[in-house]
A and B are shown apart, each in its own frame.
Chain A
Amino acid sequence: MGALLDNLALLRDGFLTTLRLTLISAALALVLGTLLGACRVSPVPTLRGIGTAYVELVRNTPLTLVFFFFVFVAPQVDLKLPFEVSAVVALSLYTAAFVCEAVRSGVNSVGVGQAEAARAIGLTFMQTMSQVVLPQALRTVVPPLINIFIALTKNTSVGVGFFVTELMAVGIRLTNRFPADILTVLTGIAVCYLAITIPAGVLAGRLERKVAFAR
């Protein structure tokens, strides 16, 4: 237990870094993913092409490779970012592909008649999406979105290999220093992750009930 209690400050810093990575990446991925999702269902073929290409490329690339790209390759073309910023960029871009697919399937779950009725009264494509389709898609999008964000929380641990001192990095450092307490340390780290994902799940349940409505 001492291994954890004596290093609470380190643990707290690791926790806060993981939380920060998660929240910032989640927000950015949500915005980018929604825009990409809108591209994928847009009437403009070029936009649809861009959306599809992005999803196929990013979703099928291991996250570690995406990190690798921003931490090691990008600096060679004079794009030098602090490690934590690189991590946020990599996590956001990666997660956005999954958000995009959740948004797309949510949009597809809303009957075409809804969008047609919206267009028929003169709403533009953007208004149709924001006023009619997305609010209804939310109901179907929220559950997969929460899974995506829980995966994101865990995915921040890839940062350990790229000089970001998040929870996992703290865990490894502590187990190296206190090999006898390895079980305690890893349990403590796992609890820290749960401290993020369990409240997220509770929030999701609330949100799900809130966006539900009778059809």
Chain B
Amino acid sequence: MTTGASSGEPLVVLAGVNKHFGDLHVLKDVDLTIHRGEVVVILGPSGSGKSTLCRAINRLEPIDSGTITLDGEPLPEEGKALARLRSDVGMVFQAFNLFAHKTVLHNVTLGPVKVRGMDKAAAEKRGRELLDRVGIGEQADKMPAQLSGGQQQRVAIARALAMDPKVILFDEPTSALDPEMINEVLEVMTQLAKDGMTMVVVTHEMGFARRAANRVVFMDHGKIVEEADPETFFTAPRSDRGKDFLSKILSH
């Protein structure tokens, strides 16, 4: 899977991105290009700005300076245009965030019906197909709270897929899961990567990074310190901070 990183044309382009939380400088002059069909894993110690970077891409966090473009279009400020752009960027959260008052199926159909204006019956048919694809077709009519964490996260992936996004952002999708459920989610993600989905994944799952990523981006203190293909990064990191990070992770 570790083919050349720039297989497709640029899809998400961050240039000179800066972000502060009060006095805290969380993203420092970040430049990053994600190509169509590419799977980029973002690694880094806690607090290094991985989530913020991820959330900046669909403007859940507004940035202070720099530019972010999706498919050549700069991110709109607020309102309808931003909503339209977000519909093309899927997001999978650490805490799943399934709509607690809606059934599993309606979690998946809400976006297609309300945002894309899709016919309800068509959306439900497609929704059931997507739920089958992530292996939880039988749970379609249950409420999210009745599902295990791993199942909920797979619903969240189906919900993102239902919008036919250009790219999906994953922010530590398996960190809130019991160990025995991590794999069922990683398998779905690996399959997505194989199917050519463009993915940005913040994760501590080195196995997934090795297996599915085209590129690893290592962040520390709000900066991108190192970018490399997974094999190179895991076996021979160039930066000292990268080495330090890997030694800590691998010793655990």
B86-A119 in contact (CB<8A): yes
A120-B78 in contact (CB<8A): no
With known contacts A123-B83, A131-B110, A117–B98 Cβ distance under 8 A: yes
Q: Is B101 in contact with chain A by the CB < 8 A criterion?
A: yes
| Cβ-defined partner of B58 (8 Å) among A43, A44, A120 | A120
Q: Tell me the chain B residues, 58-114 only, with Cβ under 8 Å from chain A.
A: 58, 60, 78-80, 83-91, 93, 95, 97-101, 110-111, 114
- State A214–B163 Cα separation when bound (angstroms): 27
B99-A114 in contact (CB<8A): yes
With known contacts A114-B97, A124-B83, A135-B101, A214–B143 Cβ distance under 8 A: yes
A113-B95 in contact (CB<8A): yes
Q: Tell me the chain A residues, 99-147 only, with Cβ under 8 Å from chain B.
A: 111, 113-114, 116-124, 127, 131-132, 135-136
A119-B83 in contact (CB<8A): yes
A121-B145 in contact (CB<8A): no
B60-A119 in contact (CB<8A): yes
Q: Tell me the chain B residues, 139-169 only, with Cβ under 8 Å from chain A.
A: 143, 145-146, 156, 159-160, 163
Interface centre among A44, A116, A117, by most chain B C-beta atoms within 10 angstroms, is A117
Q: Is B236 in contact with chain A by the CB < 8 A criterion?
A: no
With known contacts A122-B163, A124-B79, A214-B146, A117–B114 Cβ distance under 8 A: no
Q: Is A206 in contact with chain B by the CB < 8 A criterion?
A: no
Q: Is B115 in contact with chain A by the CB < 8 A criterion?
A: yes
- State A124–B115 Cα separation when bound (angstroms): 9
Q: Which residue of B lies closest to A110 (CB)?
A: B100
A123-B115 in contact (CB<8A): yes
A136-B115 in contact (CB<8A): no
Q: Is A210 in contact with chain B by the CB < 8 A criterion?
A: no
With known contacts A117-B91, A120-B89, A122-B84, A215–B100 Cβ distance under 8 A: yes
- State A7–B188 Cα separation when bound (angstroms): 76
| Cβ-defined partner of B87 (8 Å) among A44, A122, A135 | A122
| Cβ-defined partner of A116 (8 Å) among B60, B83, B159 | B60
B208 CB to closest chain A CB (Å) equals: 22
- State A127–B99 Cα separation when bound (angstroms): 13
Complex interface: chain B residues within 8 A of A124 (CB): 79-80, 83
A121-B115 in contact (CB<8A): yes
Complex interface: chain A residues within 8 A of B90 (CB): 120-121
- Extra contacts, 17 of them, besides A119-B60, A127-B115, A132-B101 (Cβ < 8 A), are A43-B78, A114-B100, A118-B99, A120-B86, A120-B89, A120-B90, A121-B86, A121-B111, A121-B115, A122-B83, A122-B86, A123-B110, A123-B111, A123-B114, A124-B79, A136-B100, A213-B143
What residues of chain A have their CB less than 8 Å away from a CB belonging to chain B? 43-44, 111, 113-114, 116-124, 127, 131-132, 135-136, 213-215
What residues of chain B have their CB less than 8 Å away from a CB belonging to chain A? 58, 60, 78-80, 83-91, 93, 95, 97-101, 110-111, 114-115, 143, 145-146, 156, 159-160, 163
| Interchain residue pairs A-B with the least CB separation, the first 9 | A122-B87, A121-B111, A117-B97, A113-B97, A120-B91, A122-B115, A214-B145, A124-B83, A122-B86
What would 5 A/B residue contacts be, using CB atoms closer than 8 Å? A117-B93, A119-B60, A120-B89, A124-B83, A214-B146
